[in-house]
Structure 1
């Protein structure tokens, strides 16, 4: 069942198919509704879109500003620059491919032992995705020979193409970057362990970001001890770079804006071209009907997300879906304007102290940044 997109406004009731008639409105039509969208993403689009998202399209190592008090940030840049330079050997189609950092035997020979990639570990807001995207940009290979995607997008690619076709599609790449690497269930553990093993054997270099050390993946979420061999196998494929620091998104910035009224949010949605307007509880229900890998497509063409009635999420499954939506909105630089509860009240204390706590804190950080971005949209 789709969410209702009929609005009872101070100037009357308007549906999504009816033009807004408020005098002085900057928009001729009613806002979009995320709840009315059921995106379907073809497999070829999944592959074509495995590049850094818009927010990170122009980032480079030179634009990353290490905190002078955090030497690990400067060290991470140095190691990743060397890593990118080491991937500058002959293309996969033009000669034998070298091993990790361009050293070792060719891909036609036996795969060398030891790590085949780098793993950026650290808290939210220390610039891990910035560094990962910079690595993608700095790697001297054609875009078609390097891939960038989130963990959930990678697992969805396997679902869309099948395991063997995914190996064939990515096996000729120079580099695979995986953002937000997490293992939330045993099936993903076995799938990803097997997939990355096949890609490493094919000569693909790996780079990943996460808020969890590779040896701790899955901890606190499922019986990870039962899958210890797979988890240890994943850990052995990476050299871990620990990046310390504070959340740069809020360093030295003013307090997050307080939630607006329902009327302010609704008026702003009608006055902003390309804005969406949805009731928050209804949107949460709708997210349950859309695969998380499609949340990016859910926001196609949306220039601002307006939400009324924000409140604490009712359960962990809903919370995790909201985290993915927050990530996709942040990647695409979509401002978020909301009424109701502030974003730091979205998740219960139990959630914030559980196995997914780092995901929840990341979502709060990113949504708060997007709320600041939305402030100029509000009419005084």
Structure 2
């Protein structure tokens, strides 16, 4: 029969709120938001080989498993209150003998705890202990998140597109359906944990720690013959194709989340999520600046000097006419409203057309004569006069 020694005493000393970076009075929504941010940043699939982040992911998951559940959070706060008041420091489970200990069950009864003492009060919070060792069902777990990258065309990024993705991810073994046993064989209760799914190991100092059973991996059942496909792990690799909708206006490098499209859950848990990092191919004419499209438009010297009406292309639409005023300098940008990328609200950004004044490499005789006449007729001051102002000082 298990005793209060099965209690995870080290958890009483852990600050799960600090682990998640929230205050003790944080709302459930704040706790969930903090957990998702930390779990995403430290997920093993996104940080292969980074032991520190793997450990951080585990500690964050442990913290959220407790304070993310209203009932568990309430009992955890009660336990922390007892610890903070010195209620745990005399040891657990002992009588009031020479050792100076006390019976924590009696203490909890005195404080109005359940009639079963600490086992009833904290049993479901720390994995089950108390009057007897009973078999607890293995909890469902969410499947792992999956990361992939997709490259799409420039126009598809502006208008949105549905793409096909071929994914390979962790999944239950197809031959044993995740049991880990050889197909056709029958399981029996794990002799190591007696079907509890966990074992209790001494940690010194009068404490005992509850750990997942190393023989059955917490599944509570074992097979005499392991599945030859997964070698008893119950897991395998699954290849599948899915259709993913990339929204209009997606930017290069943007990360799209597709809920429930990741790896399958464990023991009936929900599937993980799929995160698609989008790479957008370049366009031979157009560029992108936020929700606006950009376009370099060449114009001649006479068009810049005398003014002109020019036609320019739009992405996927009819050409538009832009009026270039006389005396337009090189590099001036004209805005064509509503011809840019699609925004989240359904409207479109603008097309930013920047003129580039072109100087001919060669001139025929008539053109040279006209330019020389222009030079002779000009009465403008030197364009470089200001370069020499104050140069002698």
Q: Same fold (TM over 0.5)?
A: no
- Greater fraction helix: 1
Larger relative contact order (CA 8 Å, sep ≥ 6): 1
Q: Name the larger-Rg structure.
A: 2
Please state which band the TM-score falls in when normalised by the shorter chain.
under 0.3
- Greater fraction strand: 2
- TM-score, with normalisation over the residues of structure 1? 0.22
- TM-score, with normalisation over the residues of structure 2? 0.22
